[in-house]
Amino acid sequence: MPILQENVSLKTYNTFGIDVTANYFVEVKNVEDLREVFNHPIAKTKKLLVLGGGSNMLFTKNFDGIVLKVSIPGITYQTQGDDVVVTAGGGVVWNDLVLYCVDNNFAGIENLTLIPGTVGASPIQNIGAYGVELKDIFTSCTAFEIATGELRIFNYADCNFGYRDSVFKNELKNKYIITSVQFHLSKQAKLQTHYGAITAELEKRNIAAPTIADVSNVVAAIRVSKLPDPKTIGNAGSFFKNPVIEKTEFDSLVKRFPNVVNYPAANGKVKLAAGWLIEQCGFKGIVVGETGTWKNQALVLVNHGHASGQEVYTFSEQIINTVYTKFAVKLEREVNIL
């Protein structure tokens, strides 16, 4: 039986380093652990928070319920010709999976190097970076239904993926716990190097025929140059989503701001760089009390040591309002607020 601990600090379980307390805390390492937890009388009366790497949330107060840390391990794979199906436990650290695949020359996941969090959280958020999203390599996931204790397999169509979105953030929110994920990769690389600074960084390194390891290393270098290490300064990576707007809105915006950073999006829409919008409003690298934005990337909010979650939230609200006033574009938080 997994141990149900009481009054546990969550400071080391969230990458913002916000010091709040959970009434109850339990770590699970397999499906049977999950069943035992949900058969416990306390679980039938308390709110539940499922925690992976704690890298995509901001605690603004203590949690009056059970925090369930998913630590289900394991990575396996099967090959058929050039196709590779990799299965990873929900508790596997995401970047450990990426490095495992790169080391084995399984292509398709390399652009997602150094994204924080765990495998189990990756479909929920439809994580993405540098022109690749989780949905591009997703085959299926196995999830534990909280109400029944049964396992269900979700295929691609079931997940209803969108930009940083899925069925698990909407109609199935808080109903399932993802225990494992299957990914479709390949032994034949089709590299995506057009997005962001990847091409420029490869050229700077005099790499004309990059491997997936080269792309992974370059993505890691770019991320490290822009994003702070949560072990050094508390943060949750990109705090806001890159806004996606209609083409007509963009046409109006670009007349006023010809240098607005943008990328093509689905259905003829246009994706804007939230970091650029925030920086143009003068927020890059500023310090407000114990919080602020990162010196190298305005999209990242940080905890300079003793920030409360409410302090960070209030600052994020200031950014949202200022960007809207200047650009008439509404930023949306990527980080979950609790």
Task: Cite the active site residues.
Answer: 164, 238, 334
Distances from the Cα of 98 to the Cαs of 111, 147, 157, 212, 215, in angstroms?
Answer: 9, 32, 24, 11, 12
Distances from the Cα of 330 to the Cαs of 15, 28, 94, 121, 304, in angstroms?
Answer: 26, 38, 30, 25, 26
Angle, CA of 136, 141 and 147, to the nearest 5°: 140
C-alpha–C-alpha distance, residues 156 and 206, integer Å: 38
| SS3 at position 226 | helix
- Find out whether 293 and 269 touch, Cβ atoms under 8 Å: no
C-alpha–C-alpha distance, residues 10 and 218, integer Å: 33
- Find out whether 275 and 299 touch, Cβ atoms under 8 Å: yes
Phi and psi angles of residue 316, each rounded to the nearest 5 degrees, phi first: -65, -35
